[in-house]
Structures are given as structure tokens and as C-alpha cells.
Amino acid sequence: MRNEVKLYSSLKVAVLTVCAICLCALTVKAQETDVYYSNDLGLELTEEEYKYATQYMDSVELEFFSQDELDYLLLDVEKNIVGSESAVLIESVNDYGMSYSLNSLSRWTATHTTNMKKLTMSAYFVSGRVLKYTLVCEWSSIPTIKSYDVIGFRIVGNDAAIYKMSNGGNDIIGIQNYDGHSINYNGNSDNLKIDNGVGLSCNIVDSVSESLSISIATNIVLGDRDYVGVYGSYQHATSNVTLRQSQKYDFSYSGMGHVFEFASSVASKYDNTQGLYILATLTGN
């Protein structure tokens, strides 16, 4: 009888051990598939996927990607090639003395830094003939004047266009991140102005005290011509302006950062920060 008790105890311990191992394995598996990051465009990533993606872009830029776009981009990175439909060479022209570098075959980036802020412009392949351009302004010090800053792009030439979504809207998103909070702007926002470029007026939140970044992204469809050049610009209001005043500009090479040519009544209210430029050229034409 005593031996039977010992055998029963041993079997009980063995069963409990197996159960514990299985439970641990299930917990680990669940952790591997748990959603660690998600955004408003439907992108969902596990922690491992998030760490992998942020090797190639800033975490702020992930807010601009749908699941299909990021999957396409990372597939290009993994293949270390650009597919036949994506035979596009991205070039960054250093006509301002700015720094620029190649991150991978699927991304070029250009930067400009002042004593108050850093601008980073990037271009990514997100489908066969569509490029996603992003522009991020990170403030190293909180500005004293908090009014309508303007951020955006100007497209060179008429053969490329801002991508039109199936619902008729424009595939544009803007974000103001401040002190752990965010304000999103979609393609129907009154703060947007669209012509041969896109501009977003962002009213800096008065209460911001610790961190501030303002970003914009848009998808641009390549046409039949052999290039598309895109300028990016961020202009800080150095005195108070209204939304209407901040939108008194044309998209022009002679404008601030080669993007925003403000009306004479408004131009003196902005800091005239230099712009950035990325050129995409089709090969084989």
C-alpha cells in the first residue's frame, strides 16, 4: 500500500510538471503572438515584429503605415532587392549641405538640424509604383511661440500625383505628438491645403512642456515620366497667426524650403527654415 501511495504521488508530480510546462509554453506562444503595437490604419505588430520594423524607421513613422504597406516594405528589405514593378532608384540631392544617408534599398532619408529642431524626410516603397514620403520635425526645446506651424511637401513636375484613396479622400495623415498625447489630421482636415503639393497647418498645443514633434506623410504615385522630385519643408511661426493666415501660400520653388511661398503680409511671421529634397527616378526608361 505504501508503494502504491509513492507511485501515485510520483505520477501526480509528473502530471503537474507536464501541465506546468504546457502552460508555460502556451504563455510564451501567446506572448509571441500578442499585439504589442497598433495604429489607426490597422497595422498590428507583435513585440518581435515591432523591434524588427523600427530597425528601418522611427517609431513615429510607423503611425503612417498600413499593414499591407509595411509588409511590402519589409519584404523588399528581406529580399534585399527591389521587385521588377518597383524598379525605382531613390536619390537624395545635397544642395543645402545637409546630411543624407541610405538606410536600405527601400528607404532614403535626408536630415537638417538646428539648435531647436531636427527635420527628417524619408521615402519608402509601399507598393509597385507608390512611394510614401514622410517628414518629421522633432523639437529639442519647446518653442516659446505656439501658433500655426506649417509642414508639407511640394511635388516637382506634373506626372506624379498624391495618391487618391478609394473613398475619394487623399492618402495624407498628419500627427502632432506632445507630452505623451497626440492629435491626428486626416485627408479631410480643414488644416490641409492641396495643390501641386500638400501643406498642413498645426496649431501647437499651448500646454506642451516636455516633448513635441509634428509629422506628415503622403503617398505619391509615380507616372510615366522618369522621375519625381519632392521637397519637404517645416516652417515655424515666430509670432501668432490664424489658421487662415497660415494657409496664405502657394507651392513654389522660390518659397521657404522650396515649398511654401507665403503672401508678403505673412512671410515675416515664419522662420524660413531650409528644406529637404529627395528625387526618385525610374530606371530603364
131 found inside a domain: yes
CB 82 within 8 A of CB 123: no
pLDDT at position 154 is 95
pLDDT at position 284 is 34
pLDDT at position 167 is 52
50 found inside a domain: no
74 Cβ contact list (under 8 Å, min separation 6): 52, 53, 56
pLDDT level of residue 82 (50, 70, 90 thresholds): very low
195 found inside a domain: yes
The model's pLDDT over 102-131, given as tens digits with 9 standing for 90+, comes to 444 457 788 999 999 999 999 887 887 788
123 found inside a domain: yes
Measure the CA–CA gap between 43 and 37, rounded to whole angstroms.
8
The model's pLDDT over 129-178, given as tens digits with 9 standing for 90+, comes to 788 999 999 999 999 999 999 999 999 876 677 776 555 556 678 999 99
pLDDT level of residue 181 (50, 70, 90 thresholds): very high
> Which position has the higher pLDDT, 206 or 17?
206
30 found inside a domain: no
pLDDT at position 232 is 96
Measure the CA–CA gap between 240 and 245, rounded to whole angstroms.
10
CATH, residue 96: 2.60.40
The model's pLDDT over 65-75, given as tens digits with 9 standing for 90+, comes to 999 999 988 88
> Which position has the higher pLDDT, 162 or 41?
41
* Residue numbers of the domain that contains 149: 86-282
Classify the C-alpha dihedral 151-182-144-202 as positive or negative: positive
The model's pLDDT over 201-225, given as tens digits with 9 standing for 90+, comes to 999 999 999 999 999 999 988 877 6
pLDDT at position 94 is 45
pTM reported for the whole predicted model: 0.80
The model's pLDDT over 225-269, given as tens digits with 9 standing for 90+, comes to 656 789 999 999 999 999 999 999 999 999 999 999 999 999 999
Measure the CA–CA gap between 126 and 66, rounded to whole angstroms.
9
Closest alpha carbon to 188 in 201, 205, 203, 171: 171
pLDDT at position 229 is 86
- Which three three-digit cell numbers place residue 2? 505504501
User: How many CB atoms sit inside 10 A of residue 70's CB?
Assistant: 23
Rounded to whole angstroms, what are the CA distances from 198 to 24, 120, 145, 146, 147?
51, 17, 24, 22, 19
**Domain total of the chain:** 1
pLDDT, averaged across the chain: 80
Arithmetic mean of pLDDT, 54-80: 84
Rounded to whole angstroms, what are the CA distances from 96 to 100, 111, 113, 117, 243?
11, 10, 12, 17, 30
pLDDT at position 22 is 47
